[in-house]
């Protein structure tokens, strides 16, 4: 009990420092005719200073998103400095589902999924059934943990987190957000990925 309290206290002390480093990750625009899609990670000090950019590739509608994300994180020189990973949504490249529990267990870095849109699970389940023989395993991973709503000054965010509590996740998101709703590391990852693929970035993350 004492150890847990001290850990939580230390966690919040770290969050209050400008030196806290957060990795934001998003995939690039793609078409379903593509075999793979680029995934970009942006390391930022809090929400204000870019320190590095990471890159990987995942297969479209594949099953390698979790391992590719682990590889991106663990092979980075920033590994020991990262305090949290923020991901836009629960999948890369269509329905390449991210197993957040697996990523946390492999990296020991808290991971938080954020999205502007409330997930329509019935629609998602129908799409999985229609497109994949292994839809049940993908559906099982998508249903790990719970999604909760974080109110903001603008539209709400829909959040899933592993490795931190809801209150800690809220503090991380607030620390990483400069303006608007989306945390800056995720927004920057989207801008870079979109700009590289299309020649100029456009559209919201």
Q: Supply the range of the domain harboring residue 168.
A: 2-198
| Residue 8 belongs to some domain of the structure | yes
Q: In sequence order, what are the residues at sequence separation of 6 or more whose Cβ sits closer than 8 angstroms to the Cβ of residue 195?
A: 201
Longest dimension (CA), the chain: 54
CB 113 within 8 A of CB 24: no
Residue 89 to residue 10: CA distance in whole angstroms: 28
| Residue 205 belongs to some domain of the structure | no
| Residue 26 belongs to some domain of the structure | yes
Q: Which residue has the higher pLDDT, 139 or 5?
A: 139
| Residue 162 belongs to some domain of the structure | yes
| Structural domain count of the chain | 1
Helix (H) or strand (E) holding 115: strand 111-115
Q: Which residue has the tokens 């709703």?
A: 181
Q: How confident is the model at residue 198 (pLDDT cuts 50, 70, 90)?
A: confident
Query: At 103, which CATH number?
Result: 3.30.2170.10
Residue 11 has pLDDT above 60, yes or no: no
| Residue 120 belongs to some domain of the structure | yes
Q: How confident is the model at residue 153 (pLDDT cuts 50, 70, 90)?
A: confident
Start-to-end CA distance of the chain, whole Å, equals 40
| Residue 203 belongs to some domain of the structure | no
Tens digits of residue pLDDT in 31-78: 888 999 999 999 998 767 899 999 999 999 999 999 999 999 999 999
Q: What is the pLDDT of residue 5?
A: 43
| Residue 50 belongs to some domain of the structure | yes
| Residue 116 belongs to some domain of the structure | yes
Burial status of residue 144 (CB atoms within 10 A of its CB: 0-12, 13-18, 19 or more): middle
Q: How confident is the model at residue 183 (pLDDT cuts 50, 70, 90)?
A: very high
């Amino acid at each position: 009990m004492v150890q847990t309290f001290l850990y939580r206290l230390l966690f919040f002390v770290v969050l209050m420092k400008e030196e806290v480093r957060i990795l934001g990750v998003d995939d690039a625009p793609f078409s379903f005719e593509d075999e793979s899609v680029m995934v970009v990670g942006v390391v930022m000090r809090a929400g204000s200073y870019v320190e590095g950019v990471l890159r990987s590739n995942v297969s479209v509608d594949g099953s390698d998103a979790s391992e590719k994300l682990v590889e991106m994180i663990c092979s980075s020189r920033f590994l020991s400095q990262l305090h949290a990973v923020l991901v836009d949504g629960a999948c890369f490249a269509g329905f390449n589902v991210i197993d957040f529990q697996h990523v946390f267990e492999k990296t020991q870095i808290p991971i938080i999924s954020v999205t502007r849109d409330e997930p329509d699970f019935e629609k998602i389940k129908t799409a999985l059934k229609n497109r994949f023989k292994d839809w049940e395993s993908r559906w099982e991973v998508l249903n790990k943990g719970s999604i909760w709503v974080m109110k903001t000054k603008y539209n709400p965010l829909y959040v899933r987190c592993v490795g931190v509590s809801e209150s800690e996740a809220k503090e991380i998101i607030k620390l990483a957000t400069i303006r608007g709703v989306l945390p800056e590391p995720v927004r920057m990852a989207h801008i870079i990925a979109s700009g590289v693929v299309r020649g100029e970035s456009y559209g919201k993350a």
